[in-house]
Structure 1
């Protein structure tokens, strides 16, 4: 049996890299593991040697203490790896395959999976529909910011790359298939982005930048990205987006200066519940601000894609209502404008194969768009700190030396 190292959440603002158990084909007890899942056998699973695993803004919510995540939780839901062992129930995936792992854990058997709603699988989390690796209240499946990780239902969940050498050449792009590229794309698809669209993307973090690149891939005429961080806005301008700094004034006024009209065809919320206000209130946390802005700037009859994370439990929220996920959104405004709202996790498997082909055929450079930066696994704490301070980078951890980290 090999050893294993992983990134652990150790309380507000603290992560550490430590020795963890090597995966087995059974889910053992541990921090965050649902008691009903303890002892669950996984003959349909595969053990991966992790090629790349990314730090996500959703991880940062936990590390900031903005969820009920327990100390000792192994983090990481964005995983790309090489199969090194497979269970007796795995028929088609083979040892040596290089694969992308959707962050949604799905059984492939339930009514939701059969309807391509893998983000709300009914059989992997005893508490509620939907599950993910290394995430609070998601069933307790061990995270992938590690050297090795177990993936259940391998034949269903794993996306095999068709050519190993080609995949390794584009691995910084392909590692975005596990989450942020499909998530940004999903936000745009549900918002109705198409040829000639004008799109407002709230947030210039990695998901927002992935959404902006996705909007371009879908044929948008103009993509406007809003954020407070000038470095991240510069990253968006670097691949052809218009930008607004929401601290500089009302987003609608700034959009009107760019377009000649204060309304866009559709909007994407890539920020979520740790949003800030606009204008002179930009320094204040205002969890409903992005949703209200999206309704304000989206035309009547438009749609708003909401891949940004919202939670039911936020112990760090400014008021009691927000601690339970209750936000003061201007629903009457959205109703009066006949807006459509699309929420929830992205069903990664709905999109990842097509997006893989777009990457392999040079139709998109997603790693460049989000400024992917590879760092060693042992540098994960520094990567978390830098990302938390607003670095315009997507940090990709290299647990096993597959990437050129210098």
Structure 2
């Protein structure tokens, strides 16, 4: 059987190619860590992919801002139907419809046992933490494809209780693999609670997910900042206040016009290392968001930082930034006694109750992020459109299974 997938070719270019049908072994290929080659995964399953999403983290690689090799199969946001189970799988069955956490986690190491599944110690020989279809993450094959292998199935997979009900809400449920837990983690770790005022930096899909999560957590006012008006309009569509950072470089002044004070209780960085300076003529300045959220968060506040920062960025603005060394005003954060929470999101800590929020109708995440369905063949165009700042979250439907 063939298995068509979205693969990274060169900076600015992806293509849909046949990568071969998966089996329960991690075989050699683009980006696979040599120490992972031949790894047997009888604890895994093969999924027929029902929905898989384009993520802003994928765009970093496609722009050439990482060391991703040509031919790397992309995609870490995966929802699918189990079509084959390994010998050691006990609880997942053929026919189950499941959400796959983008973190790959063994369930056996110290980190996993502490619910820190984002820093599993056994899946990536280079460092703790792994993900499908991502550079320097061990080489697990991506899921923007027709079929994909998922290891440690009994531990990781979130089974939807009713298949027909799940398909009715699949555009919401597909967000459980990454951006809904990621946005929620950003807001939750920033301490958002009843009555909080919160500033969200970035109105891409993760920023919009964080904003909706802040509303679910009870925030009294959610302010979203971005440089693209279309994305800010999407944030306003579900009740957020907004700041256009292309027109305003003083966030505190803009927050004061909304709240009467230039500070918020907490803030979330949903931008990461490709941040730009604020104002119409500003170029890339990777520490901008981190410094600005320290400026506008009250003393004693918390900062959630789900935005991606990397240790290797060949396209960075200076030599320090190429290894992730940024000019952060840590003295300001220290003086204000801020709490910082960084790193990948431990999806399994959140995905079950977020699923229930979706199924009950409480969470409207597909609406918040403007989920937009495309075919696998349309994925290259989706990448181009998303890269231009479209206020959409592209959901790939490889088999035409999702109701139009």
* Fold similarity call, TM over 0.5: yes
Q: Name the residue aligned to 1:227.
A: 226
What's the CA shift string for 1:120-146, capped at 9, x where partnerless? 000001110011000000000000000
Q: Name the residue aligned to 1:378.
A: 377
**RMSD between superposed Cα atoms in Å:** 0.6
Q: Name the residue aligned to 2:151.
A: 152
Q: Name the residue aligned to 2:274.
A: 274
Displacement after TM superposition at 1:270 (Å): 0.2
Q: Which secondary structure state, in structure 1, belongs to the residue aligned with residue 368 of structure 2? A: helix
Q: Which whole-Å CA distance do the structure 2 matches of 1:317 and 1:238 have between them?
A: 34
- Residue 339 (structure 1) aligned with residue 323 (structure 2): no
What's the CA shift string for 1:314-337, capped at 9, x where partnerless? 001111110110000111110000
Q: Name the residue aligned to 1:17.
A: 16
Moved over 2 A (4+): none
Q: Which secondary structure state, in structure 2, belongs to the residue aligned with residue 166 of structure 1? A: helix
- Residue 320 (structure 1) aligned with residue 319 (structure 2): yes
Q: How many residues align?
A: 403
Q: Which whole-Å CA distance do the structure 1 matches of 2:236 and 2:302 have between them?
A: 24
Q: Which whole-Å CA distance do the structure 2 matches of 1:403 and 1:365 have between them?
A: 18
Q: Which secondary structure state, in structure 1, belongs to the residue aligned with residue 246 of structure 2? A: helix
Q: Name the residue aligned to 2:399.
A: 400
The answer on whether the counterparts of 1:15 and 1:381 sit within 8 Å (CA) in structure 2 is: yes
Q: TM-score, normalised by structure 2?
A: 0.99
Q: Name the residue aligned to 1:260.
A: 260
The answer on whether the counterparts of 1:374 and 1:404 sit within 8 Å (CA) in structure 2 is: no
- Please list every run of 5 or more consecutive structure 1 residues that lacks an aligned counterpart in the other structure: none
Displacement after TM superposition at 1:280 (Å): 4.2
Q: Which secondary structure state, in structure 2, belongs to the residue aligned with residue 21 of structure 1? A: coil
Q: Which whole-Å CA distance do the structure 2 matches of 1:322 and 1:108 have between them?
A: 34
Q: Which whole-Å CA distance do the structure 2 matches of 1:317 and 1:233 have between them?
A: 27
1:131-146 equivalence runs, <5 A: 131-146=130-145
What's the CA shift string for 1:196-247, capped at 9, x where partnerless? 0000000000000000000000000000000000000000000000000112
Displacement after TM superposition at 1:279 (Å): 2.3
Q: Name the residue aligned to 2:354.
A: 355
The answer on whether the counterparts of 1:277 and 1:284 sit within 8 Å (CA) in structure 2 is: yes
Displacement after TM superposition at 1:364 (Å): 1.0
Q: Which secondary structure state, in structure 2, belongs to the residue aligned with residue 10 of structure 1? A: strand
Q: Which secondary structure state, in structure 1, belongs to the residue aligned with residue 164 of structure 2? A: helix
The answer on whether the counterparts of 1:80 and 1:178 sit within 8 Å (CA) in structure 2 is: yes
Displacement after TM superposition at 1:404 (Å): 3.5
Q: Name the residue aligned to 2:204.
A: 205
Q: Which secondary structure state, in structure 1, belongs to the residue aligned with residue 80 of structure 2? A: strand
What's the CA shift string for 1:10-45, capped at 9, x where partnerless? 010000001111001101000000000000000000
Q: Which whole-Å CA distance do the structure 2 matches of 1:37 and 1:163 have between them?
A: 35
Q: Which whole-Å CA distance do the structure 2 matches of 1:200 and 1:337 have between them?
A: 17
Q: Name the residue aligned to 1:192.
A: 191
Displacement after TM superposition at 1:403 (Å): 1.4
